[in-house]
């Protein structure tokens, strides 16, 4: 257990969960401790209906496996209920404004989770909703996944502060951005290696560097995968072509040559490194089967921890 100090003045209830930069180090550590406790309760078969009678509306403009199942199962295990709302089936898909959708859903449900393309859409939804809004993924941020990643690293390494996390691949990517924000908040060092033209968002990078100076973390952005991976405790990658970028597939396959996570590159990391990938993965592209299916990989622990991390978010925001 982290033995995090419970934030007394920073009330979670009613807050939105849009990006990790919105939360203090104490709040993130407390979320992780809640996730650990909820996971332990589930493994022990102890009921934990903290959200009995609560309903989560889930808006999906992007397809999903882990996000949908983990949120739906999480609400069920917490004693509540989740409603799947495809953008094709609700009026949002026929031109109803985001603000009207937010106001209507606020009258029906206790919280909204949205998985969509534009981060601005999530910000607008949160602005007009009177209930908590959770960012299930946008093109810019993926905070629920990274909270699960931090939980997985903590389980396997026993700590977060002082570790080096290396991300290799598309830097202008929701995972790279949220990993930067999450890593520096908890005192981890992070290095990102991306080709020119695919570097992380400058504003997010600058903010992460500023936070890192306060928490003792370093942020390194480079075009050199070897430089980034040296002495890494944790290696992370993601697909080279995300949803909505399919027309760029051939170009990206060429641009990312030399950025594959493979055995040759991983030999420069620490011997006991762990490998993470948010999935789905394209074996033979961003990572070899030898790595993702090998002894260093914890990707399925990581996938499971989406459930426990999100239950912590749901409990604290909706409870």
Average pLDDT (133-160) is: 98
The verdict on whether residue 107 carries a ligand-binding annotation is no
Could you tell me if residue 1 is inside a domain? Answer: no
Output helix, strand, coil percentages for the chain, rounded to the nearest 5: 45, 15, 40
Q: Are residues 274 and 158 in the same domain?
A: yes
Residues assigned a catalytic role: 115, 142, 145, 238, 278, 306
Predicted confidence at residue 14, as pLDDT, reads: 82
Cα 63 to Cα 280: distance, rounded to the nearest angstrom:
12
The verdict on whether residue 222 carries a ligand-binding annotation is no
Q: Are residues 275 and 165 in the same domain?
A: yes
CB count, 10 Å around CB of 292? 20
The verdict on whether residue 278 carries a ligand-binding annotation is yes
**Residue linked to tokens 């990391």:** 269
The verdict on whether residue 249 carries a ligand-binding annotation is no
Could you tell me if residue 228 is inside a domain? Answer: yes
Q: Are residues 115 and 161 in the same domain?
A: no
Q: Is 59 helix (H, G, I), strand (E, B) or coil?
A: strand
Residue 138: CATH number of its domain:
3.40.50.1370
Q: Are residues 208 and 120 in the same domain?
A: no
Q: Are residues 148 and 296 in the same domain?
A: yes
Q: Are residues 132 and 237 in the same domain?
A: no
The verdict on whether residue 145 carries a ligand-binding annotation is yes
pLDDT band of residue 116 (cuts 50, 70, 90) is very high
Percent of the chain's residues with pLDDT above 70: 96
Average pLDDT (262-276) is: 98
Q: Are residues 298 and 264 in the same domain?
A: yes
For the purposes of burial, counting CB atoms within 10 Å of the CB of 252, is it exposed (0-12), middle (13-18) or buried (19 or more)? Answer: buried
Q: Are residues 168 and 275 in the same domain?
A: yes
Q: How far is CA 286 from the centre of its chain?
A: 19
The verdict on whether residue 306 carries a ligand-binding annotation is yes
Domain that holds residue 158: 144-302
Q: Are residues 92 and 239 in the same domain?
A: no
Q: Are residues 130 and 150 in the same domain?
A: no
pLDDT band of residue 6 (cuts 50, 70, 90) is low
Task: Calculate ∠ Cα 170-171-172, nearest 5°.
Answer: 95
Predicted confidence at residue 92, as pLDDT, reads: 83
Cα 35 to Cα 37: distance, rounded to the nearest angstrom:
5
Predicted confidence at residue 8, as pLDDT, reads: 46
Q: Are residues 130 and 261 in the same domain?
A: no
Could you tell me if residue 3 is inside a domain? Answer: no
pLDDT in tens, 198-207: 999 999 999 9
Q: How far is CA 9 from the centre of its chain?
A: 25
**Nearest CA-CA partner of 314 in 134, 107, 154, 137:** 134
53 pLDDT higher than 60: yes
* Mean pLDDT, all residues of the chain: 95
Could you tell me if residue 172 is inside a domain? Answer: yes
pLDDT band of residue 9 (cuts 50, 70, 90) is very low
Q: List the structure tokens of 175.
A: 């995972």
Alpha-helix residue ranges (DSSP H) falling in the chain: 25-43, 66-77, 98-108, 119-128, 143-157, 174-185, 202-215, 225-229, 249-255, 263-266, 289-292, 299-318
- For the chain, the domain total comes to 2
Q: List the structure tokens of 38.
A: 């909820």
- Give the residue with greater pLDDT, 232 vs 92: 232
Could you tell me if residue 136 is inside a domain? Answer: yes
Rg of the chain (C-alpha set): 19
Q: Are residues 234 and 200 in the same domain?
A: yes
Cα 84 to Cα 82: distance, rounded to the nearest angstrom:
7
- Give the residue with greater pLDDT, 85 vs 243: 85
Cα 154 to Cα 117: distance, rounded to the nearest angstrom:
30
Could you tell me if residue 4 is inside a domain? Answer: no
Could you tell me if residue 2 is inside a domain? Answer: no
């Amino acid at each position: 257990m982290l033995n995090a100090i419970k934030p007394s003045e920073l009330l979670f209830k009613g807050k939105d969960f849009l990006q990790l930069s919105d939360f203090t180090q104490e709040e993130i550590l407390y979320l992780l401790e809640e996730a650990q406790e909820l996971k332990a309760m589930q493994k022990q078969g102890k009921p934990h209906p903290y959200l009995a009678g609560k309903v989560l509306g889930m808006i999906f403009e992007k397809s999903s496996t882990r996000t949908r199942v983990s949120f739906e199962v999480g609400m069920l295990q917490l004693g509540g209920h989740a409603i799947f709302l495809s953008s094709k089936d609700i009026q949002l898909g026929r031109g109803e404004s985001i603000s009207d959708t937010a106001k209507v859903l606020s009258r029906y449900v206790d919280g909204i989770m949205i998985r969509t393309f534009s981060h601005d859409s999530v910000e607008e939804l949160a602005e007009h909703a009177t209930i908590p809004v959770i960012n299930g993924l946008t093109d810019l941020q993926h905070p629920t996944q990274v909270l699960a990643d931090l939980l997985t690293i903590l389980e396997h390494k026993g700590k977060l502060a002082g570790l080096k996390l290396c991300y290799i691949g598309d830097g202008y990517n929701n995972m790279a951005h949220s990993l930067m924000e999450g890593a520096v908040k908890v005192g981890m060092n992070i290095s990102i290696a991306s080709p020119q033209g695919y570097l992380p968002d400058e504003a997010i990078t600058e903010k992460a560097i500023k936070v890192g100076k306060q928490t003792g973390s370093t942020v390194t952005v480079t075009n050199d995968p070897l430089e980034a991976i040296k002495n890494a405790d944790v290696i992370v990658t993601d697909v080279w072509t995300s949803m909505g970028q399919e027309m760029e597939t051939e170009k990206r396959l060429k641009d990312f040559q030399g950025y594959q996570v493979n055995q040759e590159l991983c030999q420069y990391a620490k011997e006991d490194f762990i490998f993470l990938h948010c999935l789905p993965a394209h074996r033979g592209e961003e990572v070899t089967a030898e790595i993702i299916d090998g002894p260093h990989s914890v990707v399925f622990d990581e996938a499971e921890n989406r459930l426990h991390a999100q239950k912590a978010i749901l409990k604290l925001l909706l409870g």
